[in-house]
Structure 1
Amino acid sequence: MSQRKFLSLRDFETSARRHLPRPLFEYIAGGAEDSASLHENRAAFSEFGFVTRVLRNVSGRSQAVDLLGRRYASPFGIAPMGISALSAYRGDLVQARAAAAEGVPMIMSGSSLIPLEEVIAAAPETWFQAYLPGETAKIEALVDRVDRAGVKTLVLTVDTAVLANRENNIRAGFSTPLRPSLRLAWEGLTHPRWMIGTLLRTIALHGMPHFENSYATRGAPILSSRVARDFGAKDHLDWEHLALIRRKWKRTLVVKGIMNHEDARKVRDTGADGLIVSNHGGRQLDGTVSPLRVLPEVVQAVGADFPVMMDSGIRRGTDVLKALALGAKFVFVGRPFNYAAAVAGEGGVRHAIRILADEVQRDLGLLGLMSISEVQRAELRDLACRNPPRR
């Protein structure tokens, strides 16, 4: 597929809507309940505007950043997304290789269908995101497995104490595992490029996909009429479990899903190396505010030297820079890269990364800035209150 028609990240979503079966597309695109937080994530960015500077020499500008002891080509990476290998052939591998080639990090989801060892072997700098199992023994076993695989950065997602109310999935006919039905068969037949190029190709070459990385051992198959996926009870997990992981995990530890400044302090004080402000892309508690709104207070709570990152709702280079201006050291983008992998493979993901990087580079120049370190709160105006920031 020609990549010339993809001019923005949004273009990949438009193409993926046609390419993917409706249940799968709605799973990726949807939020919880009424999707209030999903829409809020985008709306928050529109409430800030830039103040540009002119007649500055910006010919040598750079968007490279240092984060957690590594240097990246751009201030953004690929957020973790579950079952990416169902929307794109070898989706996790595709995203990891593309990210490595473009010099940005990719976070592999714990709800993935390719063994993490295979992805780390192909792209050793890939981060791995884990959902805490409900039992201490399973937590320790999973951490041991991630360690043996050679993962350098472990991302612990902590905002899933209970399962969200994903009404959208039910209405669209999506479940995990997928249950065979006439509706599902029809969706496959009416989307032959996906059916042949992704699902049947995967089964023929690699067997039936399973949830490979939720635990230390293999989980349920993605397609089953009987097997129920074992999510495990997690509502009893607390800060002691985070402390346990910090003691056991000797490499870089990042905690994802923080929205409260007091929780942010606890993450720092537990010994984590960084955190990601996130509302799970609007897929957990509907009505949660955008991470962009709480970002400044989280940064203030933990101090400027503690790496605070952010995801949820970023679609443009201007969004990246707004988050950085409000205190984020780095941001992650999810759904668009999933769509890019689905419709155009590894080349599509690389193209999507370049689109966003080109936007950031252009926007820096238009702002009159030379580097990411120059992106400050003074470059923004709150369009809701119309008052200039304090300097």
Structure 2
Amino acid sequence: MLDTESQTKGPSKRMLALKDFEAAAKRHLPRSIFGYVSGGVEDNQSLRENRSAFAEHHLLPRVLVDVSQRSQAVTLFGRKYDTPFGIAPMGLSALSAYRGDIVLASAARAANVPMILSGSSLIPLEDVIAAAPGTWFQAYLPGDAKRIDALLDRVDAAGFETLVLTVDIPVYGNRENNIRNGFSTPLRPGLRLAWDGLTHPRWLLGTFLRTLMQHGMPHFENSFAERGAPVLSANVLRDFSNRDHLNWRHFDQIRSRWKGTLIIKGVLSVADALTARERGADGVIVSNHGGRQLDGVLSPLRVLPEIVEALGRFPVMMDSGIRRGTDIVKALSLGARFVFVGRPFAYAAAVGGQGGVLHGIRLLREEVDRDMALLGVRSCEELSRDLLRPTASPSDGEYSASVLPAAMKPPTPADSMRPRGLANSATA
């Protein structure tokens, strides 16, 4: 196991949980940048839903189990990772932390977990994969076939082996919080933006001006095969083509061209998950984009069990709302093969750079290890729905099994006789 303690410096040492990074990042970052990272859409219903869903499942530990040889290592797509979580794709990470994408990817590689580079990143994908081989790439598809092929060829030539296709953004969500906080992409120069920077001198000097002096004006580097628009511009029209016409035929085009691992991210329905498998995807990530697209949409945790049940041994992963080791344990118990965590690691990078991200990974990994011991399980394969109970109904004090999908109902005595890891025993 990697010793990240010795690499943790500065304020990160005072962080005892992932939530502590958020409070520190709010002080460190300009209001516009922090609002972009932290916000959802419209009334933030889905943002809140992503957290509340975890609270509706309670853990049921087993005792007097020898857990001295426990391990949270998992195998995914033929590679063994030290822990069952990775870093989700986050656009514009180089605005919140100096060389943010490289910081996140390098920390993930050092900790032996996957990091997914966002297609909306500001550092060329070639630089990121060179710094951290094994990084995954997440694509927002261009709007026409030639540009799709050109982007795929560029990603392949750079050496990426895993492509994550985000499919839940035919149009952009209504991110009113960005407007209220003075954020746009590209950023619009003005007095408000200037004041935002001047009142946060550590960020201004350590991230923005340092980037300008050493690397020039950041651009959207990875949306197309060619370089995109600068991040700071008087023109607020983002240089992305429309995606509302994209359909499964475009996925077929990608599958025929991309020879590596292909994952679809943004699935919330059983029908879409089945279609993804039938058309050749190697895995799906159940996700609502961190509550940043369609407000009022279900938490991925709520639909995860029925998707897992429908797909069987097919790799089903999840993101959105994960903040604690117990969240990871609950997701794996409901059938997820792996999970991804986003915002907390963006905050950790902003506050403490690579050391901060490593510290965040260590905190979460230690929580998972402790939770497994207290639950009485020795491996992620032993996590199953037998270890969960849903929140009791406030009206009658009994489990609300009658309103749950069959996959989420409390087990019957017959169910308890099956091997505990059956729902999550396959490796990719």
For the superposition of Structure 1 and Structure 2, which TM-score range results when normalised by the shorter chain?
A: over 0.9
- 1:137-148 correspondence runs (5 A): 137-148=146-157
1:381 aligned onto 2:403: no
Distance 1:227 1:205 in 2: 25
Structure 2 alignment gaps of length 5 or more: 1-9, 394-398, 402-409, 416-428
- 1:206-245 correspondence runs (5 A): 206-226=215-235, 228-245=237-254
Q: For residues 26-74 of structure 1, give each alpha carbon's deviation from its aligned partner in whole angstroms, at most 9, with x where no partner exists.
A: 0000001000000000000000000011111111100000001110000
1:290 counterpart letter in structure 2: S
Q: Percent identity?
A: 66
Deviation at 1:228, TM superposition (A): 2.3
Report what 1:125 is aligned to.
134
Q: Please, which of 101, 112, 115 is the counterpart of residue 124 of structure 2?
A: 115
Distance 1:6 1:187 in 2: 25
Distance 2:100 2:242 in 1: 28
Deviation at 1:226, TM superposition (A): 2.5
Distance 2:347 2:235 in 1: 29
Deviation at 1:227, TM superposition (A): 5.6
Report what 2:192 is aligned to.
183
Deviation at 1:232, TM superposition (A): 1.0
1:323 aligned onto 2:331: yes
1:150 aligned onto 2:172: no
- Counterpart of 2:188 in 1: which secondary structure? coil
Q: Please, which of 12, 17, 35 is the counterpart of residue 8 of structure 1?
A: 17
Report what 2:347 is aligned to.
339
- Counterpart of 1:156 in 2: which secondary structure? strand
Deviates more, 1:200-209 or 1:292-301: 292-301
Q: Please, which of 286, 289, 293 is the counterpart of residue 295 of structure 2?
A: 286
Runs of at least 4 residues off by over 4 Å: none
Report what 2:309 is aligned to.
300
Q: Please, which of 2, 9, 33 is the counterpart of residue 24 of structure 1?
A: 33
Distance 2:392 2:98 in 1: 44
Instruction: Confirm or deny: 8 A CA contact 2:308 2:335 kept in the other structure.
Output: yes
Instruction: Confirm or deny: 8 A CA contact 1:220 1:228 kept in the other structure.
Output: no
Distance 1:301 1:137 in 2: 35
Deviation at 1:173, TM superposition (A): 0.4
- Counterpart of 2:364 in 1: which secondary structure? helix
Distance 1:258 1:28 in 2: 22
Deviation at 1:233, TM superposition (A): 1.1
Deviation at 1:300, TM superposition (A): 1.4
2:335 counterpart letter in structure 1: G
Instruction: Confirm or deny: 8 A CA contact 2:188 2:236 kept in the other structure.
Output: no
2:19 counterpart letter in structure 1: R
1:35 aligned onto 2:35: no
Distance 2:348 2:252 in 1: 37
Distance 1:2 1:182 in 2: 30
Instruction: Confirm or deny: 8 A CA contact 1:220 1:227 kept in the other structure.
Output: no
Report what 2:318 is aligned to.
310
1:160 counterpart letter in structure 2: I
- Counterpart of 1:179 in 2: which secondary structure? coil
2:366 counterpart letter in structure 1: D
Report what 1:203 is aligned to.
212
What RMSD, in angstroms, separates the aligned Cα atoms of the two structures? Answer: 0.8
Q: Number of residues paired by the alignment?
A: 390
Report what 2:82 is aligned to.
73
Deviation at 1:176, TM superposition (A): 0.2
Q: For residues 166-186 of structure 1, give each alpha carbon's deviation from its aligned partner in whole angstroms, at most 9, with x where no partner exists.
A: 001000100000011111100
1:351 aligned onto 2:359: yes
1:127 counterpart letter in structure 2: W
Report what 1:253 is aligned to.
262
Q: Please, which of 94, 117, 120 is the counterpart of residue 103 of structure 2?
A: 94
Deviation at 1:163, TM superposition (A): 1.1
1:370 aligned onto 2:378: yes
Report what 2:396 is aligned to.
none
Change in 2 beyond 3 A, CA 1:375/1:161: same
Report what 1:166 is aligned to.
175
Deviation at 1:384, TM superposition (A): 4.1
Deviates more, 1:169-178 or 1:378-387: 378-387
2:124 counterpart letter in structure 1: P
Taking structure 1 as the reference length, what is the TM-score of the superposition?
Answer: 0.99
Distance 1:230 1:275 in 2: 28
Distance 2:49 2:283 in 1: 25
Distance 2:108 2:246 in 1: 33
